[in-house]
Amino acid sequence: MIGWRTRQRVVKVALGALTLGFLAYQWMPILTMGLLSFTGPDGGTTFPMRGVSLHWYRELLRVQSVDDFKPPMARSLALALACSLTTAVFAVAAAQAMRARFRGSGAFFYLVLLGVMAPGLLVGFGIALITRVLGIPLAWYSTTFAVHLVWTLPFGFLTMLAVFNRFDRRLEEAGLTLGASRLTTFRRITLPLVLPGVIGSALFGFTLSFDEFARSFFSTGSEQTLPLVIYAQFDRQLQPTLYALGTLTTVVSLLAVGSAIALLRGSARRTLTTRP
């Protein structure tokens, strides 16, 4: 008879292998991209590599005007951050509303999910035509933002539904019976408990908006977002500058996330040690 501890360990190892294996599978294209980003000036976006150099990184920083990635990247980042915050707020609001099972909440669910169902290209085209008739100019910070949120919200919404699904109301009840207002209870009890979900929604909002392409197609003005500028490159030779861009994005993300975790750990440790 295998003891339960061994069984537990076997399961842990098996699932761990699956997780790490899948992680490796996720990262291999990224690592391939990273490797190829160092290809020589004659190299292309595929193997064989022709020499090793920092040429494409220099190209990335040097290029100006139409082929420049820097302003579109800044726009996409700003847009993604705005989307991230708005998605989180709206997702929590919508999920909270669902908890009250208001009349029409069943249909409301489908309304939010419509954001993922409607094909992006045509939605963007539709919005562009409608705003044209209304005289609203197209811009990345207005029309594109509106259309991005419509796409990211369902993801955040569904995440919050997963979090609230088996949410223990008794904790809120405890707060309410002890005299806290509904708002205070929400702020100090509910929110901290569902925080992982909120962060998940925010992450969805950021990631999906940063990468969004089909909806942005028509809804941006002449100042385009990063995915559109990258897509435009398909009409010319695809250069490893794209890989340099991708690798830099990954490295910066790792650094940002790493430092955020270190900061959080540091502040947590400090609060622990400063307690009497």
Residues of span 24-53 touching another protein by CB under 8 A = 25-30, 32-33, 36, 42-48, 50
Q: Cis bond leading into 137, ω under 30°?
A: no
User: Binders of another protein: how many residues, by CB under 8 A?
Assistant: 143
Q: Which H helix or E strand runs over 57?
A: helix 55-62
Least CB distance from residue 68 to another protein, whole Å?
Answer: 9
As measured in angstroms, the least distance from the Cβ of 54 to another protein is 18
How far is it, in rounded angstroms, from Cα 98 to Cα 93?
9
Q: Is 83 in the site for another protein (CB under 8 A)?
A: no
Nearest to 34 by CA among 256, 238, 257, 249: 249
Residue 255 sits in the site that holds another protein (CB under 8 A)? no
From residue 147, how far is each of 86, 155, 214, 255 by CA, in Å?
12, 14, 10, 30
Shortest distance, position 272 Cβ to another protein, whole Å: 14
Considering only residues 216 to 245 of the shown chain, the ones binding another protein according to CB under 8 A are 217-218, 221-222, 224, 226-238, 242-243, 245
Dist. CA 134–CA 200, nearest whole Å: 36
Among 117, 271, 272, 274, which residue sits at the site for another protein (rule: CB under 8 A)? 117
Among 74, 146, 195, 263, binds another protein (CB under 8 A): 146
Say whether residue 79 binds another protein (CB under 8 A).
no
**266 belongs to the binding site for another protein (CB under 8 A):** no
| Dist. CA 67–CA 60, nearest whole Å | 9
Q: Does 265 help bind another protein (rule: CB under 8 A)?
A: yes
Closest CA to 148 of 69, 197, 87: 87
- Does the protein bind another protein through residue 141 (CB under 8 A)? no
- Note whether 85 binds another protein by CB under 8 A: no
Please identify, using beta-carbon distances, which residue of 117 and 276 lies nearer to another protein.
117
Burial 196-209 (b: 16+ CB within 10 A, else e): ebbebbbbbbbebb
First to last CA, the chain: 50
Q: Which of residues 153-192 bind another protein (CB under 8 A)?
A: 153-155, 158-159, 161-169, 172-173, 176, 182-183, 185-186, 190
Distance CA(142)–CA(18), nearest Å, equals 43
